[in-house]
């Protein structure tokens, strides 16, 4: 889908973008994440909405699956990129 131009991300903000953090990358550890959610007072997990531009639907589905594995139930909302930018600017 990206023509081979995939880069591994360890933060929400990709390298080269404003506010990118070059600090420690944390490994994907579903069991530790479940324990942390329990310690934070969410033993049954939580529910969130993940808003993703339509052209990143596949990536959004992967993120949703990873979150679900740790107890974060996700409602995936696909919207036009221009609409998403408008939400960020508010």
**Hey, is 79 helix, strand or coil?**
strand
pTM of the model: 0.69
List, for residues 31-90, the tens digit of each pLDDT value: 999 999 999 999 999 999 999 999 989 989 999 999 999 999 999 999 998 888 887 787
Asked if 26 and 10 touch (Cβ cutoff 8 Å), the reply is: yes
Q: Count CA atoms within 13 Å of residue 39 on its CB side.
A: 6
* 2 pLDDT higher than 70: no
User: Which residues neighbour 70 within 8 Å (Cβ) at sequence distance 6 or greater?
Assistant: 30, 33, 34, 37, 45
Asked if 76 and 52 touch (Cβ cutoff 8 Å), the reply is: yes
**pLDDT for res 4:** 67
């Amino acid at each position: 889908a990206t023509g081979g131009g995939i880069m591994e991300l360890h933060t929400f903000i990709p390298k080269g973008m404003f506010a990118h953090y070059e600090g420690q990358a944390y490994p994907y550890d579903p069991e530790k994440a479940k324990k942390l959610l329990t310690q934070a007072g969410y033993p049954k997990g939580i529910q969130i909405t993940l808003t993703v531009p339509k052209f990143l639907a596949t990536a959004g589905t992967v993120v949703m699956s990873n979150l679900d594995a740790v107890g974060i139930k996700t409602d995936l909302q696909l919207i036009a990129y221009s609409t998403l930018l408008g939400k960020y600017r508010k």
